[in-house]
Structure 1
Amino acid sequence: MGRVYAVASGKGGVGKTTTVANLGAVLAAGGHETVVVDADLGMGNLSGALGVDPEAGPTVNDVLAGETTVEAAMREGPAGLSVLPASNDLDDFGPAAPANLEALLESIDATVVLLDTSAGLSHDSVEPLRVADEVLLVSTPEQGAIGDTVKTREVAERIETPVAGAVVTRATVDVDPDALADRLGVPVRGTIPEDPSVGVAAEAGEPLLTSAPNAPATAAYRRLAAELTGDESLEPAESDEPAGDEEGGESTEADSEAESTDDTAEASDGDDTDGESDPEAESDDEDGGGGFLRWLLP
């Protein structure tokens, strides 16, 4: 097992699944043996972002239920990426035991493993953070998303899993990464600009690398991959860089309208099926099951 990153945030709809799919594709295409695992056991949609049919064979849920092996559930994804999809059948949620995730990861032979986690605070969402080597936070620049991401950082710190930093998605030209880093309490390792190509790729079930190789968001995910691994060969070539501002040029009114399509498309991402969840509802989840995690965030 190589380096395991849990890609996490407290709120759904911020682009965790999009980040796992696109970061994974860039790493795999760049020669890093990479596996992406959908650890959102109830509402996973990582497979949809990568054009993988979860019904075509066993899933992560089956592995965690002790019914099959990792090798049997592994699928071939785009750009040489290996995918462990979650089931989209609600009946498969109950038998899947998150406590078996560590054993599942130990049986994966790869350089990098990216875990797509669920939103909120529950045993299902915290266990991936516990078993990962590092946590990579994902947030939009909005105040509510940042507040929930800070809570996720605090959970990672309490269970003593290092935080690799944060990725800020849907970043406009006026976003200040240093100011966001101060608010999040961790370095911002990459900013992903608002880009209509993100929604188009999600609808097509393709990573940006194949759907829109020269898009601003694609270049941003390339820079993120290089930043995390230290592999400068993953950086976008000059011919791949978009014209104008390095992080995607000036945001136009048309781009903003197209981005609203992205919001809908990203809402189908595994973490994103929850959308902008109600803080009161998340609080109810936290107190469910006998008060699990009350000790984490008193």
Structure 2
Amino acid sequence: MLAIAGGKGGCGKTTTTLGLAAARDGPTLVVDADADMPNLHAMADVPRDPPSGPNAGSDSHPAPNRLGHRHPDHGDLRVRPAPTASRGPETAGGDEITAHLGRVSEAVSGERAVLVDCPAGAGPDAAAPVRAADGVLLVASACAPSLRDAAKTGATARALGTPVVGAVLTRSRLAPAGVESLLGCPLLGAVPPVDPPVLDDVRVEKAYRDVAAELQQHKDLR
């Protein structure tokens, strides 16, 4: 399970989660862990609610064959929206996210790679999916505030015992000097700035294919 994380909202975590998932070889599940401001389902163009039906299981116990909605453009890609709270008012907290990801991981049983779109910030809700993951991929835009926040996210991951496997820069053709030293991990790729829809651009597709190829080197994240 790979957490896609970065401290600043709007740095491209959701785009990177879907871009990498589409670029991977083999079955992949993407999970929205941002219960407060979920948008993975909207970007993937799938329903907000988890799959339903007699074979879908429940949000607490997802059936292995119905973990998420099928992505409209990628048959091997499933999208699971953020869980809702078991007790009001509207969103799930860190403990519920941790339990949810644990159930998803158990249901997958290693048969499908899992990428987790993490919340922004440094609070307990943002730390929960990072703690649950096998590794973290940092995402930042090439500006000082975003890079500083990504560095803080990396430090949090290491404090929680989760390795940082690398970083991706979004909306950037070149990496600023010293970015790998600042983030404490290798830079796996830079995604160029393009006009929307971002994920339909061939240059963006190539960038995420290159990053996916780098991530395939990590046996725990295949």
| Fold equivalence (TM over 0.5) | yes
- Structure with bigger helix share is 1
Name the SS of the counterpart of 1:10 in structure 2. Answer: coil
Q: Which residue of 2 aligns with 1:193?
A: 192
Indicate conservation of the 8 Å contact 1:54/1:88, yes or no.
no
My pick for the range that moved more, 158-167 or 76-85, is 76-85
| 1:99-146 deviation per Cα after TM superposition (whole angstroms, max 9, x unaligned) | 313233222243311000000122221111111110000011100001
- Residues in 1 aligned to 2:29 and 2:194: alpha-carbon distance in whole angstroms: 26
Alpha-carbon distance, 1:178 to partner: 5.8
Alpha-carbon distance, 1:179 to partner: 2.4
- Structure with bigger strand share is 2
CA 70–11 in structure 1, closer or farther in 2 if over 3 Å, else same: farther
CA 179–33 in structure 1, closer or farther in 2 if over 3 Å, else same: same
| Structure 1: tracts of 5 or more residues without a match | 202-207, 232-298
TM-score by length of 1: 0.63
Q: Which residue of 2 aligns with 1:253?
A: none
- Residues in 2 aligned to 1:74 and 1:163: alpha-carbon distance in whole angstroms: 26
Name the SS of the counterpart of 2:191 in structure 1. Answer: strand
Name the SS of the counterpart of 2:46 in structure 1. Answer: coil
TM-score by length of 2: 0.83
Indicate conservation of the 8 Å contact 1:44/1:88, yes or no.
no
Amino acid at match of 1:93: T
CA 195–107 in structure 1, closer or farther in 2 if over 3 Å, else same: same
Name the SS of the counterpart of 1:153 in structure 2. Answer: helix
Name the SS of the counterpart of 1:54 in structure 2. Answer: coil
Q: Which residue of 2 aligns with 1:220?
A: 207
- Residues in 1 aligned to 2:82 and 2:114: alpha-carbon distance in whole angstroms: 15
CA 12–70 in structure 1, closer or farther in 2 if over 3 Å, else same: farther
- Residues in 1 aligned to 2:91 and 2:42: alpha-carbon distance in whole angstroms: 18
Name the SS of the counterpart of 2:114 in structure 1. Answer: strand
Name the SS of the counterpart of 2:122 in structure 1. Answer: coil
Q: Percent identity over the alignment?
A: 34
Larger Rg, first or second structure (1 or 2): 1
2:92 is the counterpart of 1:79: no
Q: Which residue of 1 aligns with 2:18?
A: 21
CA 19–182 in structure 1, closer or farther in 2 if over 3 Å, else same: same
Computed over aligned residues only, the root mean square deviation of the Cα atoms, in angstroms, reads 2.4
